[in-house]
Structure 1
């Protein structure tokens, strides 16, 4: 009997330990992602900034990592999605095709966002999905022009019914730091009536 109890307790400890390790690895993944993103702006080989912008650059800042902003969203594909012209920061147009809609709950509120693909779709980017959005932090603690999140068709769950959205990985468009880029402005239907205190924040 004692051996049986010991085995049950030991199995429980292993299960908890595995869950903690999995949780830790997720946090570490976010930390690594944010570290690489910040370093890409200071690395001469990858920085989008020109010399005068580098002199005034204050670095990439982040909200504290928060697992609340890792959500499992219901995914609904959009059949024969429309091609939508997105106005850009340079007052030009970039085209994106509707790919699907995600629905999720945050702070007790139901939210909906549309996911897009660039159009026309180039072969090397056929798996890339684009989620531009705005929320109640924009212009206050995050960039006023909205933020982006990159996703992949590979992120879709079983039978494409769910997708994990990790707002800890949202980033600012290059236009937040440089005037030399042409960045799409998130559409009105992707305006969230909640605060997303996650991912890249903004210091002017």
Structure 2
């Protein structure tokens, strides 16, 4: 009898530990990676109260329609300008190139930017910033638009995967200073891909 009780206690303990250590949610590698990052106190932009109850971000379902091949045209000798942010800070940026692509039978253009400060940091020398607005903003997705990361391409063709679009950190915590998406990067269409508006469950 004592053995049975002991086994029951061990099983309950194991089950409880399993309950507390919830698996990282996500259907794609990108979704699992960003959920793990946001769950980790050392890398998460979430407020402590939100992170403690965080189970995972909401995403549009992966859709290969939003993986597009874009033509990349480098902009030579572009002037540096002050990109506004959600705080008083400005981010020194320049238009590095223009991406042209087709989506659902329409042609769109997006400016891709290079940050002066970031290009001097180790590991970010070839980093490019691709922010955009679209017609899901303020409803299914964050009102301030979303971001994509890019590297300086070695050809005039680039794959844009909108399924990897993510929210600025200030969508989760107003302590962050986030670049405001330039209006020129407004896509007059619905980008039903990537991270949705944040609602902690």
Matched positions, count: 171
Aligned to 2:12: none
Aligned to 1:36: 33
Deviations 1:143-200 (A, max 9, x none): 00110000112xx35xx21111000111001111111100001101101101100011
- 3-state DSSP class of the match of 1:194? coil
Aligned to 1:194: 189
Aligned to 1:149: 148
- 3-state DSSP class of the match of 1:68? helix
2:70 corresponds to 1:61:
no
Larger helix share, 1 or 2? 1
Alignment of 1:178-193 (within 5 A): 178-193=173-188
**Which structure would you say has the larger Rg?**
2
- 3-state DSSP class of the match of 2:131? strand
Q: Does the 8 A contact of 2:98 with 2:111 survive in 1?
A: yes
Question: How many Å apart are 1:139 and its aligned residue?
Answer: 0.5
CA RMSD across the alignment: 1.7
Question: Runs of 5+ in structure 2 lacking a partner?
Answer: 1-26
Aligned to 2:14: none
Given the two structures, how large is their TM-score scaled by the length of structure 2? 0.79
Separation in structure 2 between the aligned mates of residue 132 and residue 164 of structure 1, nearest angstrom: 15
State which drifts further: 174-183 or 57-66. Answer: 57-66
Separation in structure 1 between the aligned mates of residue 184 and residue 83 of structure 2, nearest angstrom: 12
2:124 corresponds to 1:129:
no
- 3-state DSSP class of the match of 1:112? strand
Deviations 1:14-45 (A, max 9, x none): xxxxxxxxxxxxxxxx8111111012111122
Aligned to 2:171: 176
Given the two structures, how large is their TM-score scaled by the length of structure 1? 0.78
- 3-state DSSP class of the match of 1:36? helix
Rate the CA distance shift 1:88–1:57 in 2: closer, same or farther, 3 A.
Answer: farther
